Structure 1
Amino acid sequence: MGKSIVTLRKKAISKGRMSLYLDFYPPVWDESLNDFSRREFLKLYIYLKPADQYQKLANAENLHAAEMIRARRQNEINKAEIYSPFEKEQLQLQARGNESFLKYYKKLGQKKEGNNLSIWNCAIRHFEIFLGGKDLLFKDVTVTLIEDFRDYLVKAKSMRKNKKQLSRNTALSYYNKIKTTLKGAYREDKLKTDINAKIGSIKELESQRSFMTIEETRRLFATPCPNDLVRKISMFSVLTGIRYVDIAKLVWSEIQYIENDGYYVIFRQKKTEGAESMPISEEAFSLLGKRRGEKELVFKGLNKWDVDRVLPVWVALSGIRKHITFHCFRHTYATLQITAGTDIFTVSKMLGHRSVKTTQVYARVIDQKKRDAANRISLD
């Protein structure tokens, strides 16, 4: 590494004066800016064209004072260059500790897309409210602080107009964003300790998942749909378990055929960002229509507003009395697979779940249905 240099420089300002400042190369950490900087303004001035003896004397005194400060700063930097590796590491940790954790959190959130970006933004906004509008430095991030934020989320109100209390699972989702940020910060050595490993979590409440039985599913698809494209993607979701967001962005290059094996959908899940290679049935493939350009959308002309408008009407026409959203087709796929005898680990992989625990809710639904069926027969 080249030697660090501190240079005294001048900058023209108002009233025929010049401001004296130091130029650091390479830049040094400035605590007042909470960032690295090449300049330190000394609040010392000289006259460009001194009008009298007093201004000449002032110039000489201020230039001398500025040079003394420059020499002192150069000595400080030179001393830093002879620190031991341990001392340098401690100085680096100290410098990182003075960086903004909140700024780092926001920067991480800005990398997200779509609905995930919206969730991150809400999570960050709640963290800002919790901090009372203040910044938070890495050195001030503690287990106690994060657990206090967890307690805040459990009782927090929604930022929507209804101002309802956040659901437990929404609070958990927001809390997981700060945990992800803590993991990244520790991995990048911005935090001295793995705070994420030391903090508690928010217990997830099992959500009620609506789905259709095989009889209801057949009845729905036997009922004429006001929009044929909505019918096709609905059937495709029931047959594959793929989410609407992934169906909507599906392009023909992601539909592949493997000799002596069959058709596959090879894509990256938008929600989890996980790469998936999913086998699909001939029936599911038949819904895709004629193959077009590799980069063209498979379901061209798809509009979420049309889906949300048509689906309730179609479900009502079929005589199904359940509240069915498009995401319920994914739940239907999972429950029908488990009902048909597919093991939970395979279903978990087919759904792209990171953990089998996420899939177990479907198994519990099926177990409850079996219990309900058993209790229907009584000889009393």
Structure 2
Amino acid sequence: TVVQLLPSLPSLFIHLKAQTWGVEYASKHICAFKGSTVEISCTYTYPPRISYKKTVVQREFWYAKLKDKNPLDLREDPDYAGRVTYRCSEQSCSLRISGLRLNDFAEYKFRFETNQPDGSFTGKPGVSLTVTGPRVQVIRSGLELVCHSSCFPRHHLSFVWFMNGQEVQGETSDYYRKPVSPEASYSCSYQGHRSPEVYAPKSVSVSMSLTEIMEGSSVTLTCSCDANPPAKFRWYKNNQTLLLEDQSLILRSVQRSDSRKFHCVAENELGELASDQVFINVEYPPETSSVSVSPSAEVLEGSSVTLTCSSDANPAAKYTWFKDNRTLLSEDKVHFSSIRSEHSGNYSCKSENKHGQSSSTPLLLDVQCKFRLWFRDLGFL
């Protein structure tokens, strides 16, 4: 008779497994919807005794990150405050996370610590959690909409579609089969999990980095809009297309010749919309102040004469007149309806705005007496 001394293979396997350190997860990859609750579970093993010392589990916890190089218990992680519960029993433990957020996407590991020297073990790799939600994909340049999520199961699904927030009756497929309007917004829902709306750009506007633009400075124009999918941008200067498709347009060292109208167009797969025009008003101090006289011929006593002060300035300059270096008046012109000889003298003007000032060179105004000219023409003078 042969005596069977060895245990059966299954009982041997269980015996050996119980002598080892290990963590086994129910699932290595989990996909869950934003806002939902997920449960991650595992079982674990350890040697019941080491050198006749009974093994006692002293701590068991889940973690996703380290703090000071040590695993941080999820119950102590402020990012999970009030959302995490454990359910642990003999050599098994489950983690429950409620109110899932997109940034809960992580690898979750279970760790247990015992009374044995070096008697701690972490199950690596952990469980990969993906947090997502339904979203509407726009394909074929806005002609078709598809409700998509990496968390959808592969079997037949039933969806709910919304247009402008109202449920669309009869649309239960992942493809939206009705015509797509660029003026409307669309979203889809699966088992109560609703996607963000998709819509063409709206509320398109241009903002400037400076409220006062001095010549030589740099200014940034930014095109903003509300759009989903995100918009791309085009820029126009005086309605002429600029070869730039960034959200921001940077004008470096602007000159007075850059005083133009600018606008942008925001575009996504569902449509496009233009902003209002903004005017780039480049300011600078007065330059090249000068005095002119009209009429420009000889100035005769009793005639009508106008002196004009001119300068190139933005904002427009204010003027001050001087006669023989004494302040005369503050106007852009000096007018004599019937000029007299005592009006003769050196006239100059000063142009001034908030950015600076400029003075003209003096102009000599010589008022001639009519009789004196008559005697001169007759040869008496």
TM-score bucket (shorter structure): under 0.3
Higher helix share goes to which structure?
Answer: 1
Which is higher, the Rg of structure 1 or of structure 2? Answer: 2
Q: What TM-score do the two structures reach when normalised by structure 1? A: 0.20
